[in-house]
Chains A and B, each alone.
Chain A
Amino acid sequence: MTKKRTGVFVCHCGNNIAATVDVKRLAEEMTDEETVVYSQDYVYMCSDPGQNSVIQAIKDNQLDSVVVSCCSPNLHEKTFRDNAERAGISGFTCEIANIREQCAWVHKNREEATEKAIKISRSAIRRVAHNKALDPIAVPVTRRVMVIGGGIAGIQAALDVANAGLEVILVEKLATIGGHMLQLSETFPTLDCSQCILSPKMVEVSRHPNIKLMTYSEVQDVSGSVGNFRVKVLQKPTYVDPEACKLCDDCVQVCPVVVPNEHDLGLTARRAIHIPFAQAIPASYTLDVDACLGLNPIRCGKCKDVCEAGAINYDMQPRTVFEEVGAIIVATGFDLYGQENLGEYGAGKVEDVLDGLQFERLCSASGATKGHVLRPSDHKVPKEVVFIQCVGSRDPAQHCAYCSKICCMYTAKHARLYKHHVPDGRAYVFYIDIRSGGKGYEEFVQRTMEDDETIYLRGRVSKLHRTRDGKVRVLGTDTLTGQNVEIDADMVVLALAMQPSKGTEQAAKVLKIGRDKDGFLAEAHPKLKPVESVTAGIYLAGAAQGPKDIPETVSQASAAACKVLALLSQDTLSHAPTVAKVRESHCTGCEMCVDACPYQAIRLLNGKAVVNEVLCEGCGTCAGTCVRAAIDVKNVTQLQIHAMISAIMGG
């Protein structure tokens, strides 16, 4: 084997690295390594002059391999590998030594940090000495997209992708698309009607020739990888044929079972056979099998008897459908933090204490009270209403540590809607501070305070309870005057924290994408890859990724759609060739790697493991599991790991 000719390029990253690591000394000491024939340092290696200097050095010194000591490979590995290709050598002979996140940023002592940076760089040099110039694997692409979740995020993403000419499968867990936005009455900061702006989009989805809508369906399993996913979807039976159903409502009239209506958050009731709301898409009834007396004509069967169209079929079975798609957008949305978690606010058991979504249904023209604000207990117009912000949010000790972002705005909106419905009423808002960043948001809050005379009290509510005269006594403090406040309110509205929807955890598990500490879907990079998940080909949109309002959700959905379109605009995808490789002489066929592989990329053939290079993501789980050292990931071989450890140990 001829000796490698490696070049080392040390980046200052402005002062990010140079302030803690002696970059000059680092660059100089690297020339002591046997394989290093060139080294240099530069203030921003990723800048245009920086990259050009790398190209120049490769050409001038006939380098065959490159080590860049800089930031995390997550950030610029691709940059420098592409750059190496431009200089005429394989990108896979370029390795990154992370001396920023793993060194400069976490240390203070310059001397020690420099020593560590030297070790990290040296280990990368030893590693790259064994790197092979690999060729990327070309993989054909399936030009179809799946969107999971039919809220505003999913609808927007599906429409954007479909309008660009790609086929979209929109999967929604409930019987209708629309999501939480459909439950809102008006939206801030313009106070336009939520249904009026969403319904046309829903209709567009149902009529779009490129969109295949699968409601009442759940994603159960995903295999394959970017460009070629195979998704298993379970379609639950609605027991009503949407084609035949004439929406006559006769079945509802005869159904004897009454249960709370989820769409109105329990403020109204519905029958076991029901249509979620009049404008539901698809426009059809659903038989709630959990509530139904039992799909058995002997026990009840009234709905089937009365249906003249013959649309009801008790024998409908769940259907499992497999869909091949190239990319997936996850928009599983949010749920409110449960009131039952809030003992101090009655744990959901005190009457006339509502959550924000229930209040939306009270204000909505299609809601429980046909748009009149009446309190649920006695249907009287509430004259004093207390709104409490940050309920469950910003409370690391007991509830969620994060800010739910939209509560300041929607509480202001609630207060205004209330004042518009009940002009002689009085609205109080308890707040910690007001976060109204956004176009027109601050002005909106100011108008709530000034034009609509809402009383804002800075402080938290410690407790509330029901009084004998049918009011809700709210005990809080006003920290601006330093006084305790006691309000006998007719109604209390809690601005509950947003949390990832109940299905998000399951979706993340099935899709093998990460979640953050609060359970929201994790983006690949908070700044540079905000809509990408950690798994290639899976994108994120909406509140499942973090609390956000409608404008932001729509922007993110369109951004995700744009990423998908860019991905699927190519005929083939280039798959990283750093995949697992089996050493046949050592493989005993114990099948442990087959079980351990998260991508189902390994199988047993004639008693030996075989890797499907297209499916393999090079994660190395197999290499970690194999006790026989019979499987290696290319360019991260055990020999290389051994060389890296030796270098770090000073060998």
Chain B
Amino acid sequence: MVKVEDIQQCAAGLLEKGQVKSVLGFRRGTAGAMAEPCTITEAAEAGTLVWDPTCLNNLALYLVKDRKQQAASKTPDIRPIGIVAKGCDSRAVAVLLQENYFKREEVFVIGVSCEGTGVIDPKKVATLLKGRSPSRVEFDGADGFKLTLRGGEMQVPAREILADRCLECRAASPALNDVVFGEPSGERGYATPFHAAKEALGASETERWAAWEHHFDRCLRCFACRSVCPMCYCPECVVDSTSFVIEPQTSAEEKANRIKWCERSPNTSESAVYHLTRAIHLAGRCVDCGECERVCPVNIPLRLLNTMLEMEAFEMFHYQAGHDLSQASLLSSFRDEDPNSFIR
């Protein structure tokens, strides 16, 4: 069982000694039981940090945001940042390090193992409670949650309300860390890895296409999935003509010749191009934090798209994004024993 005091003490210590300029963590939110991301810069604030099954967000995103801010700043502050990281968050940090987005010494990973459980899926909780919302969600033993409701408490087996990604999680404790709290834990046996993707593959091609057509048709192109993804840090998104980078040295010809690989209008085919391109750009980089799917306002099962590619990467090339900092990235590496029957 992870004690929140440990995390608080660690954060306070880091700030006190000036080892980090800030610590990214979670604090109690203002609405309901859910925790929210926060940045603390003073040791005195460490007491506000929380750790419970509602700490959903992938905080690696805020490392990226800080990096962008510092790059644009006239007086960049490149002191290290501390980050409270679950298994998936630490994998995201590992991929960012692999891609040289920042240096190892610029981040201090306060690893937290999810041990036997993980984080909740608020939608599953809402379904379970038939619309009522809990005022508190806590870990309860090795594989259960305790929900506090008006009029009492209830114990729920973790399996029932765990987020899908946690059910399939293969590495619940952060492999990349500077300090780690909680017992190490790998696969927990809730569901086999890539269970959902494999199940989806059971349907015929026509059925699958019809399903995805339906999903892409709903897409609003609000780009929430892109905004929340720590891997979507490109200065210019190749599938979105609204984010062209214009610098002082950008010539008129370059401005005129910008390529619109997909149109802005959210129709089915353009949205399909957007999502499929994003999925392919995440191949070998997606750490399955499930944030894209969580934030989608129209419930597109984006995790399915991404885990499908993760599955291919794992089954064909034994590659797992963010598991090994020293390995070359999937898309840029070649080994003689890679299956290449299609090349000859």
Q: Residues of A with Cβ closer than 8 Å to B?
A: 1, 130, 509, 517, 585-586, 588-596, 604, 607, 625, 627-629, 638-639, 642
Contacts and interface: CB of A to CB of B under 8 A. Distances in A.
Contacts of B253: 1
B259 A592 contact: no
B259 A586 contact: no
Given A517-B344, A639-B259, A592 B247 contact: no
A592 B336 CA distance: 18
Contacts of B261: 642
Contacts of A590: 98-101, 329
A638 B281 contact: no
16 contacts: A1-B253, A585-B236, A585-B245, A585-B250, A588-B233, A590-B99, A591-B99, A591-B332, A592-B99, A595-B329, A596-B332, A625-B331, A629-B238, A639-B257, A642-B259, A642-B261
B324 to A, nearest CB: 14
Interface in B246-271: 247, 249-250, 253, 257, 259, 261
Contact of B336 (A509, A594, A595): A509
Most buried by A among B253, B257, B281, B332: B332
Contacts of A589: 100
A588 B328 contact: no
Contact of B101 (A588, A594, A625): A588
B234 interface: yes
Interface string B7-24: 000000000000000000
B235 interface: yes
Given A585-B245, A591-B100, A629 B329 contact: no
B206 interface: no
A607 B100 contact: yes
A639 B256 CA distance: 11
Contact of A586 (B236, B249, B257, B331): B236
Most buried by B among A130, A593, A642: A642
A625 B235 contact: no
Contacts of A588: 99-101, 233-235
A211 B236 CA distance: 56
A130 B331 CA distance: 29
A509 B253 CA distance: 42
Q: Chain B interface: which size bin?
A: 20 to 34
B332 A586 contact: no
Nearest to A509: B336
Contacts of B341: none
Nearest to A645: B261
A593 B99 CA distance: 11
Nearest to B234: A628
B73 interface: no
B333 interface: yes
B286 to A, nearest CB: 12
B259 A585 contact: no
Nearest to B67: A588
Contacts of B329: 590, 592, 595
A578 B334 CA distance: 25
Nearest to B277: A627
A54 B46 CA distance: 78
Interface string B313-344: 00000000000000011011110100000001
Given A585-B250, A588-B99, A595-B333, A638 B259 contact: yes
Contact of B328 (A517, A595, A638): A595
Contacts of A628: 234-236, 238
Given A590-B329, A595-B328, 18 more contacts: A509-B336, A585-B236, A586-B234, A586-B235, A586-B245, A588-B101, A588-B235, A589-B100, A590-B98, A590-B99, A594-B332, A595-B329, A596-B332, A604-B100, A625-B331, A627-B281, A628-B235, A642-B261
A143 to B, nearest CB: 33
Nearest to B235: A586
A140 to B, nearest CB: 31
The 4 closest A-B pairs by CB, nearest first: A590-B99, A595-B332, A592-B332, A596-B332
Contacts of B247: 585
A509 B334 CA distance: 12
Contacts of A607: 100
A66 B338 CA distance: 42
A589 B234 CA distance: 11
B38 to A, nearest CB: 27
B127 to A, nearest CB: 37
B235 A592 contact: no
A593 B332 contact: yes
A205 B314 CA distance: 52
A642 B235 CA distance: 20
B260 to A, nearest CB: 8
B273 to A, nearest CB: 12
A636 to B, nearest CB: 14
Contacts of A639: 257, 259
Contacts of A642: 259, 261
Contacts of B101: 588, 590
A1 B257 CA distance: 11
